[in-house]
Chain A
Amino acid sequence: AQSVSQHNHHVILSEAASLELGCNYSYGGTVNLFWYVQYPGQHLQLLLKYFSGDPLVKGIKGFEAEFIKSKFSFNLRKPSVQWSDTAEYFCAVFEGSQGNLIFGKGTKLSVKP
């Protein structure tokens, strides 16, 4: 079975700092990868996804992620975070043909103003 690991439980940054959140998955075949964000009190929103093609994926709100097959990784990055980026971030991988997602445990990001 596939699994997803997010190594950082809680990341605290100051505004304008650069962000990189780690995500590793276990499956060695073709993968579809996602990053979701959950702002306090709100529902999950899709930040970006990778299905195929360019391994550097750009998402909303200035986020990007790079798929590195050899490292089984799909790290999320943002050059300069803002206070409004404070949220919990989940990495997820597709399992099966019908769209079931397996989520990592999430990384809470706190950005200090």
Chain B
Amino acid sequence: GAVVSQHPSRVICKSGTSVKIECRSLDFQATTMFWYRQFPKQSLMLMATSNEGSKATYEQGVEKDKFLINHASLTLSTLTVTSAHPEDSSFYICSAPGLGVSGNTIYFGEGSWLTVV
């Protein structure tokens, strides 16, 4: 079945550095991918919509210059957290709509735990 793979699953970086998270659709093409963030004890919140071949669409309150999204191909979207700060520590997860056995569905990556120290 359709799978979305996310890498790395866990990353620790120093404050002020940048970190890149990859989201791949493994056996289907995804013109759109979504990036979510989950703070501890809170629900998933949409950060941005990644569109293949065009600029990402960011949700209100999400800094586009800080969270760089590149959707360079139909199977890969990347999220780069630039100049990371401890408050950026969170669980980041991507998803992509695909065609499941019983119709349209959403597939999620495994998620990436980012810790900024």
Contacts and interface: CB of A to CB of B under 8 A. Distances in A.
Contact of A43 (B93, B104, B106): B93
Given A98-B49, A99-B34, A51 B103 contact: yes
A96 to B, nearest CB: 9
Given A36-B108, A45-B108, A99-B95, 9 more contacts: A43-B93, A43-B108, A44-B108, A49-B105, A90-B44, A100-B34, A102-B46, A103-B44, A105-B42
B43 A43 contact: no
B88 to A, nearest CB: 20
5 contacts: A42-B110, A98-B32, A99-B97, A100-B46, A101-B46
Please report whether the interface of chain B is mostly helix, strand, loop or mixed according to DSSP: strand
Q: Which of A101, A102, A105 has the most CB of B within 10 A?
A: A101
A105 B43 contact: yes
Interface of B: 6, 32, 34, 36, 42-46, 49, 93, 95, 97, 103-106, 108-111
Chain A interface residue bracket vs B:
10 to 19
A46 interface: yes
Nearest to A36: B108
A104 B95 contact: no
B68 to A, nearest CB: 20
A46 B111 contact: no
A35 interface: no
